[in-house]
Chains A and B, each alone.
Chain A
Amino acid sequence: DGGITQSPKYLFRKEGQNVTLSCEQNLNHDAMYWYRQDPGQGLRLIYYSQIVNDFQKGDIAEGYSVSREKKESFPLTVTSAQKNPTAFYLCASSDGTSSSYEQYFGPGTRLTVT
């Protein structure tokens, strides 16, 4: 079965700790994305990558970092510099970036920082 996996589904951390969220896809998609979803707000783009070893900041990249060393993997690190890290994080991928390509989403990781 092709798809996107994110682990873990729920993650709890203490304030001041960095945490890395996993995202893996076996759809052979070139492009991958990280979004953050907060109650009452739309999905907001954190980072995206169009190809291996390349990535760009989205709208709310501050306090986050990513890497794209393999086509199938796009981990997101939430650093201690992120002021409000508690949120639902969604990873997505698409076959390309041109207009008609839909994005496929993973099941999400709910991060709680106390």
Chain B
Amino acid sequence: GQNIDQPTEMTATEGAIVQINCTYQTSGFNGLFWYQQHAGEAPTFLSYNVLDGLEEKGRFSSFLSRSKGYSYLLLKELQMKDSASYLCAVKPNDYKLSFGAGTTVTVRA
């Protein structure tokens, strides 16, 4: 089976930085995705990593270490609209995404 772990909840202050960790143990690895999901809405794509290293996209960055089975999503200059659930998903093979349970981030003023 696939095992993907991420913290359940995190709280941070507006303007701060938050790092959401994701560790995985999967039968294969064809890439790691991060999605953002606001309550009751569809997940939206944030980032994709398949090689080790850091991918930066505006205020959001995602890091991958394949040897450690580890990724993180870094959210900088937090805004109230960043309050959402962040889903880590691994593609163990070509067709399937396996999701972690998600991390709920609450941004406080």
Contact = CB atoms under 8 A, between A and B. Distances in A.
Consensus secondary structure, chain B interface: loop
Interface in A51-88: 56, 58, 88
Interface residues of B, number: 26
Interface of B: 4, 8, 30-31, 33, 35, 40-45, 48, 50, 87, 89, 91, 94-102
Given A41-B101, A42-B87, A48 B96 contact: yes
A90 to B, nearest CB: 7
B45 A90 contact: no
Interface of A: 4, 31, 40-45, 48, 50, 56, 58, 88, 90, 97-100, 102-108, 110
A99 B42 contact: no
B87 A107 contact: no
